[in-house]
């Protein structure tokens, strides 16, 4: 099924389901995808999502008609170029092989009384010659430097988990909390790497982390995602060069999207955990953008299907996963108001229905969901990254401490 869904008809079928947002075409045995039972607690969790979405919509600028027409022309030009170069039929050929990350020189710093390491490196990513938006993208000087936080143990090499943050994150306070970095590192004994996605954190362009990553400018979103995968591949290979026995990846929201994409491009990963993953940015934008933006875009003639065609080169459902079925994991919230359930099920289908965990909360509430902690613990143990088995979990033998 992986090869089938990686073909153009498979992507089109998933996209069509996303556009309707209905669940009747999905397998009837996905009972856990039903809405969470109403309660005051669930209502508060939903409210958090709605507040975040309202703020996101209210603060997002609405491009003028001239800018939207430029965006439309970029999409049309990109689709013609990508088709001519064969990238739409073979998206894997769009992604070049990045050079090794050799100059990573971590420095020890302190955050909230705890020590961790921080490193900067030259991204070296550049859009292909002739790609629409190339010059604009390269003009973002601050975005050409990569940043990563590292929590690692001394002594013999241990397994690593690369954590890929979501939209508007990219700062230690948010990322360390969301990923439970102290738990992953201190309690589970993992080495942890938390890279900063393009246009986030210290790489931000506007007043807020993430400005420009998720907007009507389709080519900016495409370049951001291509750059993210480029840098992650370099980071994963650097980790392997340090003698690590295993490298897993774990992302949430847009980071879940990036996790799923990386799993289809970089071979040899020990596991991939995609949290609340969207699978189509144009569809996700239409689900969350203001009516004013959608109306203005349609008035300018922006073709959402053309946008989705162009984004195919960085679409998780255009790549068959390169890791075994038993090392793929997905989780999502039943009350999520930001990533529609059809997106999650789209990846679940594409990944040939791996382990899928539904927690009884929303997009924002994943940070403190106890069932998610148990799921992550079990997944990391099953993937062979942990030395000590989690409680009440009986699966593969645990790895013994070196």
pLDDT in tens, 65-105: 889 999 999 999 999 999 999 999 999 999 999 999 987 88
Query: Does residue 391 lie in a domain region?
Result: no
Sorted by sequence, the CB contacts under 8 Å of residue 7 that are 6+ apart come out as none
Segment among 165-174, 195-204, 212-221 with least mean pLDDT? 212-221
Number of folded domains that form the chain = 1
**Of all helices (H) and strands (E), which one includes residue 137?**
helix 134-138
Q: Which sign does the torsion angle of CA 377, 383, 387, 390 carry? A: positive
**Of all helices (H) and strands (E), which one includes residue 188?**
none
Query: Does residue 182 lie in a domain region?
Result: yes
Q: Quote the pLDDT of residue 8.
A: 38
- Interval 313-357: pLDDT, tens: 999 999 999 999 999 999 999 999 999 999 999 999 999 999 999
Query: Does residue 402 lie in a domain region?
Result: no
Query: Does residue 328 lie in a domain region?
Result: yes
Query: Does residue 119 lie in a domain region?
Result: yes
Nearest to 29 by CA among 360, 345, 375, 311: 345
pTM (two decimals): 0.88
Query: Around 154, how many Cα atoms within 13 Å sit in the side-chain half-sphere?
Result: 2
Query: Does residue 395 lie in a domain region?
Result: no
Q: Quote the pLDDT of residue 400.
A: 29
Q: Which range marks the domain in which residue 310 is found?
A: 2-382
Sorted by sequence, the CB contacts under 8 Å of residue 176 that are 6+ apart come out as 111, 112, 149, 182, 194
Is residue 396's pLDDT more than 50? no
Query: Does residue 401 lie in a domain region?
Result: no
**What is the pairing mode between strands 328-333 and 271-275?**
parallel
The CATH number of residue 93's host domain is: 3.40.50.1820
Query: Does residue 318 lie in a domain region?
Result: yes
Q: Quote the pLDDT of residue 279.
A: 95
């Amino acid at each position: 099924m992986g090869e089938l869904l990686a073909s153009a008809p498979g992507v089109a079928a998933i996209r069509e389901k996303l556009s309707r947002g209905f669940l009747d075409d999905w397998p009837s045995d996905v009972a856990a995808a039903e809405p969470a039972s109403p309660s005051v607690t669930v209502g508060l969790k939903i409210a958090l999502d709605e507040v975040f979405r309202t703020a996101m919509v209210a603060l997002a600028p609405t491009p003028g008609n001239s800018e939207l027409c430029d965006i439309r022309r970029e999409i049309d030009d990109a689709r013609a170029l990508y088709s001519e170069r064969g990238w739409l039929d073979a998206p894997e050929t769009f992604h070049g092989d990045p050079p090794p990350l050799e100059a990573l020189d971590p420095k020890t710093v302190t955050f909230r009384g705890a020590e961790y390491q921080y490193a900067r490196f030259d991204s070296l990513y550049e859009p292909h010659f002739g790609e629409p938006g190339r010059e604009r993208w390269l003009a973002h000087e601050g975005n050409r430097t990569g940043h990563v936080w590292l929590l690692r143990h001394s002594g013999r090499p241990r397994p690593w988990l690369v954590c890929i943050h979501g939209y508007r994150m990219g700062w230690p306070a948010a990322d360390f909390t969301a990923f439970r970095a102290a738990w992953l590192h201190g309690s589970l004994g993992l080495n942890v790497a938390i890279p900063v996605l393009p246009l986030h954190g210290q790489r931000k362009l506007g007043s807020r982390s993430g400005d420009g990553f998720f907007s009507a400018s389709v080519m900016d979103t495409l370049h951001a995602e291509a750059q993210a995968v480029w840098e992650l591949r370099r980071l994963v290979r650097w980790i392997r060069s340090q003698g690590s026995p295993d490298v897993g990846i774990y992302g949430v929201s847009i980071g879940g999207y990036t996790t799923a994409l990386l799993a289809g491009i970089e071979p040899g990963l020990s596991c991939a955990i995609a949290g609340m993953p969207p699978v189509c940015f144009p569809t996700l934008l239409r689900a969350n953008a203001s009516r004013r933006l959608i109306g203005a875009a349609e008035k300018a003639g922006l073709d959402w299907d053309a946008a989705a065609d162009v984004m195919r080169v960085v679409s998780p459902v255009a790549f068959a996963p390169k890791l075994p079925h038993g090392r793929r994991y997905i989780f999502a919230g039943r009350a999520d108001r930001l990533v529609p359930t059809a997106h999650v099920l789209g990846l679940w289908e594409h990944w040939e229905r791996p382990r899928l965990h539904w927690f009884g909360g929303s997009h924002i509430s994943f940070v403190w969901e106890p069932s998610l902690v148990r799921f992550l613990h079990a997944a990391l143990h099953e993937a062979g990254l942990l030395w000590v088995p989690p409680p009440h979990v009986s699966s593969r033998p645990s790895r013994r401490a070196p």
